[in-house]
Amino acid sequence: MSTNKHAIIRYQTLDKCFRNSGRNYAIEDLVVECNKAIYEYSGINDGVKKRQIYEDIRFMESEQGWNIDLAKNKEGRRVFYKYENPKFSISNQPLNETEANQLREALLTLDRFKGLPQYNWINELNTRLEASFNLKQKSDVIISFEENEYLKGLEYIPELYNAILYKKVLNINYKNFKTEISTNIIINPYYLKQFNMRWFLFGKSEKYKIITNLALDRIESIEVSAQDYVATGIDFNEYFDDVIGVTIPSDKIENIVLKIDNSLIPYITTKPLHGSQKIKETCSEFEVHLKLIPNYELEMLILSFGEKIQVLEPTNLVEKLKKRIHKMKNNY
């Protein structure tokens, strides 16, 4: 079954035509109706052909589809299509096995959010699917996601999620790794982000002029504060566009130039270091050009490639990495 939006529109349109007792539809009429419905939805003239509609009808008649009982009445050279039962509709049918398996795959992905109160329905729906379609959990795992289920602080995600959703100010007891003393931070929570298998909370605290970044594994406790919530105009869909990771030390975007070993080209091409990445070839050597804000995560990423990457620009980043590499060398 095709799962793209245009396919769904076609199935729904055909269903509507087959139920229409006031008009007869030949294949040419069904093509027109499907193209009209797609255009009304997306503004795109999809150009659906007869062959596609025939395939859609065969699928709707199959066990993988909805097992529709379709009357095909021939008048002269034309064949008109209509449900045998005018009260039938695919919208009134339970999920077929194909759809149930597709839904199960989606639920397995959503299961990564277990623990959040908004997703408690996942286990219940899984049980109902198993009972309705005999879809027992398979012992063979065919997909996995990189995550650290033992990470400290994951238990705070539901509480932080709700605080952001319902705009509640929080009093967080926070313990920085650099000190043994915990501090209280009053924060307006705005956003949760996962990076490198760790979770971070972003919000605004009176103690700092810029957005505060708190690692969940350093949180000791959380209490709701009675203070009025201060909203933000920041669009967090774009907030991290100019950095790698979660640290934004400044707003100065710099041109980063990296000289890379030829052996890295396939890896960096298929998995870019950043969205701004451009690869240039000069004198049989390759350079990666980036436009972003230098931060700790960028330094760690560059160092992870070892001797296969050399920073050419900017000078201050070159000097920083020189010092770090020198310290690393002294460890051996």
3-state secondary structure 174-239: ECCCCCCCCEEEEEEEEEEEEECCEEEEEEEECCCCCCEEEEHHHEEEEEECCCCCCCCCCCCCCC
The verdict on residue 169 lying in a domain is yes
**pLDDT higher than threshold 60 for residue 1:** no
Token couple for 307? 């001797």
Whether 245 is covered by a domain: the verdict is no
pLDDT tens profile 132-184: 555 555 556 667 777 777 788 888 988 999 899 999 999 999 988 777 788 99
SS3 content of the chain, % helix, strand, coil (to 5): 40, 25, 40
Per-residue confidence (pLDDT) for residue 121, from 0 to 100: 64
**What would the DSSP string read from start to end of 122-173?**
HHHHHHHHHHHH--PPPSS--------TT-TTGGGHHHHHHHHHTT--EEEE
Q: Is the pLDDT of residue 31 over 50?
A: yes
Band the pLDDT of 223: cuts 50, 70, 90.
Answer: very high
Asked if residue 141 is part of any domain, the answer here is: no
Distance, in Å, from the CA atom of 281 to the CA atom of 299, rounded to the nearest integer, reads: 23
Whether residues 308 and 264 share a domain: the answer is yes
Residues 84 and 12 in one domain: yes
Q: Which domain holds residue 68?
A: 5-92
The mean-pLDDT minimum among 95-104, 182-191, 258-267, 294-303 falls in 95-104
Residue 99 exposure: Cα atoms within 13 Å on the Cβ side: 14
Residue 104 sits in the same domain as residue 77 = no
pLDDT exceeds 70 at position 271: yes
230 occurs within a structural domain = no
Question: 181 or 290: whose pLDDT is higher?
Answer: 290
How many structural domains comprise the chain? Answer: 4
- Do both 129 and 178 map to the same domain? no
Does residue 179 belong to any structural domain of this protein? yes
Span 226-240, average pLDDT: 93
Averaged confidence pLDDT in the chain? 86
Query: pLDDT at position 105, please?
Result: 73
Same domain, 71 and 103: no
Query: Nearest CA to 259 among 295, 224, 286?
Result: 286
If you average pLDDT over each of 1-5, 37-41, 111-115, which comes out highest? 37-41
pLDDT bracket for residue 260 (50, 70, 90): very high
Q: Is 2 a residue whose pLDDT tops 50?
A: no
Q: Is the pLDDT of residue 47 over 90?
A: no
Of 15-19, 250-254, 281-285, 322-326, minimum mean pLDDT range: 281-285
Q: Which domain CATH number covers 18?
A: 1.10.10.10
Q: What angle do CA 130, 131, 136 make, to 5 degrees?
A: 30
More confident residue, 181 or 326: 326
Polymer length of the chain: 332
Instruction: For residue 307, give the CATH number of its domain.
Output: 3.30.70
Maximum CA pair distance of the chain? 92
Q: What is the CA radius of gyration of the chain?
A: 29
CB count, 10 Å around CB of 255? 11
pTM over 0.85: no
CB proximity list for 39: less than 8 A, separation 6 or greater: 45, 46
The reported pLDDT for the residue numbered 277 is 95
Examine the domain organization and report whether 102 and 80 are in the same domain.
no
Residue 3's pLDDT is 43
Residue 243 within a domain = no
Asked, for residue 82, whether it belongs to a domain, the answer is: yes
pLDDT interval class at 282 (50, 70, 90): confident
CA distance 242 to 223: 33
- Residue 142: what pLDDT? 67
In a domain, 103, yes or no: yes
Shared-domain flag, residues 261 and 320: yes
